[in-house]
C-alpha cells in the first residue's frame, strides 16, 4: 500500500460532494477526504445531490448510480442540463462494473469512474486529475 | 419326285419264294420303270446285309420270311433304312397284316397274283413319291418339334384327361426333371406340386386344388374349350427334394390333335419378377407406413407447386381435410414473407435439401412455428417434377428455447445483482479497515495491525472472487466485449511481470522475461490479455517452491504471437491436466487449502478463445508446467461479445493475495 495518503500532509480547500445512499460508504469516504483536508458535503440520493450541488456549488461530485428516489443517471442528466452546474466534474463511484452502465453514464459526460470496492489511492489519483490545479499536494 | 423316278432305279426284292421273286423281276423288267439293278434276298438276314452294302431306291418285302414274320420284317428293314420306300408283298391270306403295315409307315402293298406291270409301275412311283413327301413332312414335324423344344417359354401339351403329354425343354428345366418324370401324369403330379403329393391322390384331389388358378385354367380350356390368357398361380413344388415356391403365368388354348381335344399351354416362370415385385411392394408398404405414421407432416408438391399428396399428420397439423388440401397452392400455407424466404432457397435450381424455420397457417388462421425441410423430386430422367416438404411442428421447442433463454437470462441477472450487492458492503468494510490500518484514525499496535491485515487481505480476496464469478458469467454468456486495438505485447507482458514482482519476491521465486526483438503489434484487448498474463503468472509463482523459477517468453510464429509462461514447480499430472481449464476445477495440493473459485484458468482460456486464439499446457510432475498462449496477430473476436474493462482492483491486488489455484 502506498504511503502517500496515510498522513495529513496535504492541504486543500476543494469542496467535494459525495452522493451515495450507503451511509457507511459516505462515512468512510468523508473521513478520508476530510483527512486530506477537503471540504466534504454529502447527499443520500440524486434529488438530494442536485439540491446540494445547486446550493453548495462543489468543485467535484463523487456519484453513486444505484440510489432510491433519484438514481445517479437522472441526477447526471439534470446536472448536465443545468448551465450553472454542468461544468462540475463528476466521478462515478459504483458497484456497477458492467461497461454498458458506465457507457450510459459517460454519455451524460463524466470525468471518470471507479468501481466498488475501490482502492483509495486510485480514487485520490482520479480526484486529483479532476480538480487539476485546485488540488495542491 | 419325278426326277428321282426318272433316274435308273436300284431295287431290292426280299422274297423267299423263288417263283414269286422271278415273277416280280419279270414284271419289273416289262414295266415302264427305268431300272439299273435288281438284287434279291431270300431272308431278312440276307436283306439286311444287302442294305448294309448298297443303296436302294425301293424295297419289295414279303412279310412271311423264313427268319421273320409279319410287321417285324418291316420294322427291321425300316430300322435299317428309314428313308427307303417299302412296298409289302402279301398273299390274300395276310392282307390284314399288310394294311397294318401301311398304317405303320409302309408305302404300299401288293397282293401276289394280282400284280401286273402297270400296277407295279404306279405302285413304285407312288411309293417313292409318298416316301419323299413323308420325309418332308417328317422333317417339318421335326422342325416344329425343335421349335417347340427350343422355345424360350415353357410349353406344355395336355390331353383331354388333363394328362401331360408333352413338355418342351424350358418346362423341363423349370421343373428340373427328365421327360419320363413329367410325361403321362396329371398336371400337378408332373410338376411336383406339394398339394398333389400330400393329398396322396394326385393333382385335383386336394382341397387346395379347388382354388388352384392353374387347375382352373386347365378346366376352362378342356371343359369349356375356351382359351385362357395369363392366369397366374403360386405353386409349392418339390424340386430335388426341396420345397420351392414358384409363380407360374400360363396361357392356354384348346387344340384338336390326332382327332382328340388337347390343351396347349405356355408356361412362364414369373417367380423372380414376382419376388422382385413383392419386395418392391414391401418397400413401398414400408415407406408408406413411415409416411403415414410420421409425427411430421410430409407433403408432395407438383410442378405447379400444388399439393398432391400428404400424410395424416399434415391434416392434423393444419386442421385441414383432403378437400381443403388437394391441389391447394402450397404458398397459401405460408405467410407471404415466409413464402418469399422459402422461394428464396430456390431448391429446384439448387437441388440439394434445404432447411428453414418458418411459420405455417392453420385452417383457423392461427400460425405455428415449423421447421421446413425441402427436397426436389425428379423423375428417372432427371427432370424436376415437384418437391417434397417435411414440416415439423417446433412450437414446443421454440417455447422451451425461449424459456431456457429467459432462465439463463434470469440466472445471469441474479448472479450479476448478487455480485453487485456484495460489492457495496465490501467497499465500506475495506475502506473502514484501510482508514484504521493507515493510522488515520489513530495509532495502532503491532497485533492490531496484524489482524486488520488479515481482514483486509480477505476482503480483497472476496472482492476478487466476486470479480471472477462476474467475469466468468459474462464470458459464458458471451457478454464480454473486447476492445481490440493494435497493442505491443512486450509492454503488456512487462507490465504483468512488474505487478507480479512483489509476489515472486515474497515467494522467493526468480521471475525472468525473455522477449524476442521486433515483435509485431497485435490486435488484442490490453486489459483482457493483462488479466490472462497476471493470472498465468500468479498461478505459476504460487505453485513453484522457494528458489524455483518462472520465466516468460514471447515469440512471433506465423500468424500468432506465442507467449509462454514456464515454471519449475510441482507440475500437474496428466489426469488433472485434461481438466485444468474446466470451470470450478481446482487442484488440491496436500497441505494447501483451496483459496480460489477455480475460475481463473477457465477465464484465461475463454479470453484467449474470444480473441480467436488458443492455449496449450504441458506439464511434467516434479519438473514444472508451461502454458503457451497463441494469440492471433489479427484478433478475431467472436460476434456478440460485449466488453468490460478488467477490474482495476484485480490488477492491483492480485499481488497481495494468495494466488488462486488452477
Domain final residue, candidates B103, B129, B147? B147
> Do B70 and B19 share a structural domain?
yes
Tell if the CB–CB gap between A25 and B459 is shorter than 8 Å. Answer: no
Grid coordinates belonging to A93? 463511484
- Domain range for B403 is 399-474
Instruction: State yes or no: pLDDT of B508 exceeds 80.
Output: yes
Identify the residue whose cell numbers are 410338376.
B191
Q: Model confidence at B587, in pLDDT bands (50, 70, 90)?
A: low
d(CA B139, CA B533): 108
From B652, which residue of chain A is nearest by alpha-carbon distance? A119
Q: What local confidence, expressed as pLDDT, does residue B11 receive?
A: 92
Tell if the CB–CB gap between A97 and B467 is shorter than 8 Å. Answer: yes
SS3 state of residue A77: helix
Chain A contact for B579, CB < 8 A?
no
> The domain that contains A115 carries what CATH number?
3.40.50.2300
Which chain A residues are closer than 8 Å to B463 by Cβ?
117
From A3, which residue of chain B is nearest by alpha-carbon distance? B438
Chain A contact for B1, CB < 8 A?
no
Is position A8 within any domain? no
- Domain range for A64 is 15-129
CA distance A6 to chain B (A): 5
Cα B620–B621–B627 angle (5° rounding)? 45
- Higher per-residue confidence, B203 vs B510: B510
- Reference B595, options B607, B586, B608, B582; nearest CA is B586
Tell if the CB–CB gap between B440 and A31 is shorter than 8 Å. Answer: yes
Tell if the CB–CB gap between B427 and A119 is shorter than 8 Å. Answer: no
Nearest to A115 among B432, B438, B647 (CB): B647
SS3 state of residue B108: strand
Tell if the CB–CB gap between A28 and B653 is shorter than 8 Å. Answer: no
Dihedral, CA of residue B197, residue B202, residue B203 and residue B207, to nearest 10: -80
Identify the residue whose cell numbers are 525473455.
B514
Chain A contact for B470, CB < 8 A?
yes
- Reference B532, options B477, B598, B609; nearest CA is B609
Tell if the CB–CB gap between A28 and B439 is shorter than 8 Å. Answer: no
Is position B45 within any domain? yes
> Do B606 and B497 share a structural domain?
yes
Is position A110 within any domain? yes
Chains A, B: CB contacts under 8 A, how many?
82
CA distance A83 to chain B (A): 32
Q: List residues in chain A touching B: CB distance below 8 A.
A: 1, 5-7, 22, 24-25, 27-29, 31-32, 35, 66, 95-100, 102, 114-120, 122
**HSE (side-chain half, CA atoms, 13 Å) at B562:** 12
> The domain that contains B326 carries what CATH number?
3.30.450.20
Q: What local confidence, expressed as pLDDT, does residue B13 receive?
A: 93
Of chain B, the percentage scoring pLDDT greater than 70 comes to 91
Of chain B, the percentage scoring pLDDT greater than 90 comes to 18
Cis peptide before A117 (omega within 30 of 0): yes
Region of poorest pLDDT, from B479-483, B541-545, B641-645: B641-645
> Do B561 and B429 share a structural domain?
no
Instruction: Judge whether B543 and B605 are in contact, CB under 8 Å.
Output: no
> Do B135 and B116 share a structural domain?
yes
Domain final residue, candidates B147, B164, B192? B147
> Do B620 and B496 share a structural domain?
yes
* Portion 523-552 of B in contact with A at CB < 8 A: none
Q: What local confidence, expressed as pLDDT, does residue B566 receive?
A: 92
Identify the residue whose cell numbers are 406291270.
B117
Q: What local confidence, expressed as pLDDT, does residue B654 receive?
A: 32
Region of poorest pLDDT, from A74-78, B220-224, B553-557, B589-593: B589-593
The DSSP bridge pattern shows strands B108-111 and B86-90 to be parallel
Q: What local confidence, expressed as pLDDT, does residue B564 receive?
A: 93
d(CA B547, CA B569): 10
d(CA B420, CA A117): 10
Q: Distance between alpha carbon B65 and the CA centroid of its chain, in Å?
A: 81
Q: What local confidence, expressed as pLDDT, does residue B110 receive?
A: 86
Q: What average pLDDT does range B29-58 have in this prediction?
A: 90
How many domains in chain A?
1
Q: Model confidence at B123, in pLDDT bands (50, 70, 90)?
A: confident
From B453, which residue of chain A is nearest by alpha-carbon distance? A1
* Portion 392-451 of B in contact with A at CB < 8 A: 416, 420-421, 423-432, 434-435, 437-441
Dihedral, CA of residue B559, residue B565, residue B570 and residue B571, to nearest 10: -10
Q: What local confidence, expressed as pLDDT, does residue B503 receive?
A: 86
Is position A6 within any domain? no
SS3 state of residue B327: coil
Q: Of B413, B423, B427, which to mutate for an interface test with A (greatest number of A Cβ within 10 Å)?
A: B427
> Do B259 and B182 share a structural domain?
yes
Instruction: State yes or no: pLDDT of B655 exceeds 70.
Output: no
Q: What local confidence, expressed as pLDDT, does residue B352 receive?
A: 66
Instruction: Judge whether B528 and B605 are in contact, CB under 8 Å.
Output: no
Domain final residue, candidates B368, B392, B416? B392
Is position B624 within any domain? yes
Tell if the CB–CB gap between B423 and A29 is shorter than 8 Å. Answer: no
Long-range CB contacts (< 8 A, 24+ apart) of B267-275?
Answer: B267/B153, B267/B154, B267/B155, B267/B156, B267/B170, B267/B171, B267/B174, B268/B153, B268/B154, B269/B154, B269/B174, B270/B232, B271/B245, B271/B246, B271/B247, B274/B232, B274/B234, B274/B247, B275/B247
Residue B641: phi and psi, rounded to 5, are -90, 120
Q: What local confidence, expressed as pLDDT, does residue B307 receive?
A: 92
> Do B75 and B49 share a structural domain?
yes
Instruction: State yes or no: pLDDT of B32 exceeds 60.
Output: yes
CA distance B345 to chain A (A): 39
pLDDT (tens, 9 = 90+) of chain A, 137 residues, equals 444 444 444 444 789 999 998 888 898 899 888 888 889 999 999 999 999 999 999 999 999 988 889 888 889 999 999 898 988 999 998 886 665 677 777 888 888 888 888 888 888 888 988 888 655 44
Q: Model confidence at B90, in pLDDT bands (50, 70, 90)?
A: confident
> Do B453 and B491 share a structural domain?
no
Residue B395: phi and psi, rounded to 5, are -55, -45
> Do B626 and B568 share a structural domain?
yes
**Cα–Cα distance list, B510 to B376, B499, B504, B589 (Å):** 69, 14, 7, 22
From B645, which residue of chain A is nearest by alpha-carbon distance? A99
Q: Of A5, A6, A117, which to mutate for an interface test with B (greatest number of B Cβ within 10 Å)?
A: A117
Which chain B residues are closer than 8 Å to A118 by Cβ?
427, 649
Instruction: State yes or no: pLDDT of B45 exceeds 80.
Output: yes
> Do B623 and B483 share a structural domain?
yes
Q: Model confidence at B660, in pLDDT bands (50, 70, 90)?
A: very low
Is position B371 within any domain? yes
Is position B286 within any domain? no
**Cα–Cα distance list, A95 to A83, B425, B426, B463, B525 (Å):** 29, 10, 10, 11, 23
Is position A3 within any domain? no
How many domains in chain B?
5
Instruction: State yes or no: pLDDT of B589 exceeds 70.
Output: no
Is position A87 within any domain? yes
CA distance A68 to chain B (A): 14
Is position A125 within any domain? yes
DSSP string, A94-114: ES---HHHHHHHHHH--SEEE
SS3 state of residue B655: coil
Q: What local confidence, expressed as pLDDT, does residue A8 receive?
A: 45
Instruction: State yes or no: pLDDT of B188 exceeds 70.
Output: yes
Is position A78 within any domain? yes
From A7, which residue of chain B is nearest by alpha-carbon distance? B440
> Do B197 and B229 share a structural domain?
yes
d(CA B394, CA B205): 63
Q: What is the pLDDT of residues B468-494, one digit of tens each?
A: 887 777 777 766 677 888 888 898 899
Q: What is the pLDDT of residues B297-355, one digit of tens each?
A: 999 999 888 999 999 999 998 999 989 999 999 889 999 888 888 888 777 776 667 78
Which chain B residues are closer than 8 Å to A102 by Cβ?
645
Nearest to A98 among B431, B463, B644 (CB): B644
Q: What local confidence, expressed as pLDDT, does residue B339 receive?
A: 87
CA distance A65 to chain B (A): 12
Grid coordinates belonging to B591? 497441505
SS3 state of residue B378: strand
Tell if the CB–CB gap between B428 and A25 is shorter than 8 Å. Answer: yes
- The dihedral built from the CA positions of residue B65, B69, B74 and B76, taken in this order, carries a sign that is negative
> Do B641 and B500 share a structural domain?
yes
Is position A102 within any domain? yes
Instruction: Write the DSSP symbol of residue B640.
Output: T
d(CA B247, CA A16): 107
Grid coordinates belonging to B217? 385354367
Amino acid at each position: 500500500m502506498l504511503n502517500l495518503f496515510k498522513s495529513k500532509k496535504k492541504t486543500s480547500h476543494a469542496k467535494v460532494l459525495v452522493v451515495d445512499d450507503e451511509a457507511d460508504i459516505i462515512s468512510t469516504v468523508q473521513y478520508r477526504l476530510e483527512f486530506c483536508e477537503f471540504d466534504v458535503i454529502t447527499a443520500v440520493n440524486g434529488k438530494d445531490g442536485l439540491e446540494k450541488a445547486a446550493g453548495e456549488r462543489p468543485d467535484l461530485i463523487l456519484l453513486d448510480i444505484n440510489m432510491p428516489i433519484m438514481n445517479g443517471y437522472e441526477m447526471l442528466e439534470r446536472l448536465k442540463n443545468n448551465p450553472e452546474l454542468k461544468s462540475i466534474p463528476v466521478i462515478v463511484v459504483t458497484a456497477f462494473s458492467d461497461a454498458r452502465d458506465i457507457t450510459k453514464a459517460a454519455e451524460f459526460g463524466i470525468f471518470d469512474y471507479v468501481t466498488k470496492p475501490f482502492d483509495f489511492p486510485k480514487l485520490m489519483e482520479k480526484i486529483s486529475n479532476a480538480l487539476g490545479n485546485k488540488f495542491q499536494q | 419326285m419325278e426326277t428321282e423316278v426318272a433316274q435308273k432305279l436300284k431295287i431290292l426284292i426280299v422274297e423267299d419264294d423263288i417263283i414269286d421273286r422271278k415273277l416280280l423281276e419279270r414284271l419289273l423288267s416289262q414295266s415302264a420303270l427305268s431300272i439299273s439293278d435288281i438284287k434279291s434276298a431270300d431272308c431278312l438276314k440276307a436283306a439286311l446285309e444287302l442294305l448294309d452294302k448298297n443303296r436302294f431306291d425301293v424295297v419289295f418285302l414279303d412279310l412271311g420270311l423264313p427268319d421273320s414274320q409279319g410287321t417285324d420284317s418291316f420294322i427291321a428293314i425300316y430300322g435299317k433304312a428309314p428313308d427307303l420306300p417299302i412296298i409289302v408283298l402279301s398273299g390274300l391270306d395276310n392282307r390284314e397284316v399288310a394294311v397294318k403295315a401301311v398304317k405303320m409307315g409302309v408305302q404300299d402293298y401288293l397282293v401276289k397274283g394280282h400284280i401286273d406291270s402297270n400296277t407295279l409301275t404306279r405302285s413304285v412311283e407312288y411309293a417313292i413319291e409318298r416316301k419323299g413327301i413323308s420325309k418332308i413332312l417328317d422333317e417339318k414335324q421335326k422342325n416344329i418339334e425343335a421349335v417347340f423344344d427350343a422355345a424360350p417359354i415353357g410349353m406344355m401339351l395336355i390331353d383331354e384327361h388333363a394328362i401331360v403329354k408333352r413338355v418342351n425343354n424350358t418346362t423341363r428345366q423349370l421343373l428340373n426333371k427328365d421327360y419320363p418324370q413329367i410325361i403321362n401324369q396329371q398336371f400337378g403330379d408332373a410338376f411336383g406340386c406339394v398339394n398333389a403329393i400330400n393329398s396322396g391322390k394326385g393333382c385335383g384331389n386336394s382341397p387346395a386344388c379347388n382354388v388352384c388358378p392353374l387347375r382352373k385354367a386347365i378346366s376352362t380350356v378342356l371343359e369349356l374349350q375356351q382359351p385362357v390368357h395369363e392366369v397366374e398361380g403360386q405353386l409349392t413344388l418339390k424340386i430335388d427334394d426341396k420345397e420351392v415356391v414358384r409363380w407360374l403365368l400360363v396361357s392356354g388354348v384348346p387344340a384338336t390333335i390326332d382327332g382328340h381335344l388337347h390343351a396347349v399351354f405356355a408356361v412362364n416362370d414369373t417367380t423372380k419378377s414376382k419376388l422382385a415385385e413383392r419386395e418392391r411392394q414391401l418397400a413401398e408398404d414400408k415407406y408408406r407406413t413411415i409416411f403415414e405414421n410420421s409425427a411430421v407432416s410430409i407433403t408432395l408438391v407438383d410442378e405447379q407447386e400444388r399439393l398432391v399428396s400428404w400424410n395424416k399428420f399434415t391434416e392434423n397439423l393444419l386442421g385441414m381435410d383432403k378437400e381443403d388440401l388437394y391441389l391447394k397452392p402450397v404458398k397459401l400455407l405460408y405467410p407471404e414473407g415466409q413464402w418469399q424466404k422459402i422461394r428464396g432457397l430456390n431448391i429446384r435450381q439448387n437441388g440439394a435439401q434445404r432447411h428453414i424455420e418458418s411459420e405455417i397457417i392453420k385452417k383457423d388462421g392461427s400460425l405455428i412455428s415449423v421447421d421446413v425441410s425441402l427436397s426436389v423430386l425428379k423423375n428417372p430422367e432427371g427432370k424436376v417434377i415437384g418437391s417434397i416438404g417435411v414440416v415439423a411442428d417446433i412450437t414446443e421447442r421454440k417455447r422451451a428455447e425461449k424459456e431456457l433463454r429467459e432462465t439463463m437470462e434470469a440466472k445471469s441477472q441474479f448472479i450479476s445483482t448478487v455480485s453487485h450487492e456484495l460489492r457495496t458492503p465490501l467497499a465500506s468494510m475495506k475502506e473502514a479497515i484501510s482508514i484504521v490500518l493507515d493510522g488515520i484514525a489513530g495509532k495502532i499496535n503491532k497485533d492490531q495491525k496484524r489482524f486488520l491485515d488479515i481482514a483486509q487481505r480477505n476482503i480483497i480476496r472476496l472482492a476478487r472472487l466476486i470479480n471472477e464469478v462476474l467475469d466468468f458469467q459474462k464470458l459464458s454468456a458471451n457478454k464480454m466485449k473486447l476492445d481490440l486495438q493494435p497493442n505491443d505485447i512486450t509492454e503488456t507482458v512487462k507490465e504483468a511481470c512488474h505487478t507480479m514482482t512483489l509476489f515472486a519476491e515474497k515467494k522467493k521465486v526468480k521471475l525472468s522475461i525473455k522477449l524476442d526483438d521486433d515483435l509485431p503489434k497485435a490486435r488484442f484487448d490490453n486489459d483482457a490479455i493483462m488479466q490472462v498474463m497476471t493470472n498465468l503468472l500468479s498461478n505459476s509463482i504460487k505453485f513453484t517452491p522457494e528458489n524455483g523459477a518462472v520465466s516468460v517468453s514471447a515469440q512471433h510464429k506465423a500468424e500468432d504471437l506465442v507467449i509462454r509462461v514456464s515454471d519449475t514447480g510441482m507440475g500437474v499430472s496428466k489426469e488433472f491436466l485434461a481438466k485444468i481449464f474446466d470451470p470450478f476445477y481446482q487442484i488440491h495440493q496436500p497441505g494447501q487449502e483451496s483459496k480460489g473459485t477455480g475460475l481463473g484458468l477457465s477465464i484465461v482460456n475463454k479470453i484467449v478463445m474470444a480473441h480467436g486464439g488458443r492455449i496449450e499446457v504441458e506439464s511434467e510432475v516434479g519438473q514444472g508446467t508451461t502454458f503457451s498462449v497463441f494469440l492471433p496477430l489479427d484478433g478475431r473476436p467472436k460476434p456478440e461479445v460485449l466488453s468490460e474493462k478488467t477490474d482495476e482492483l484485480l490488477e492491483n491486488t492480485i499481488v497481495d493475495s494468495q494466488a488462486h489455484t488452477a
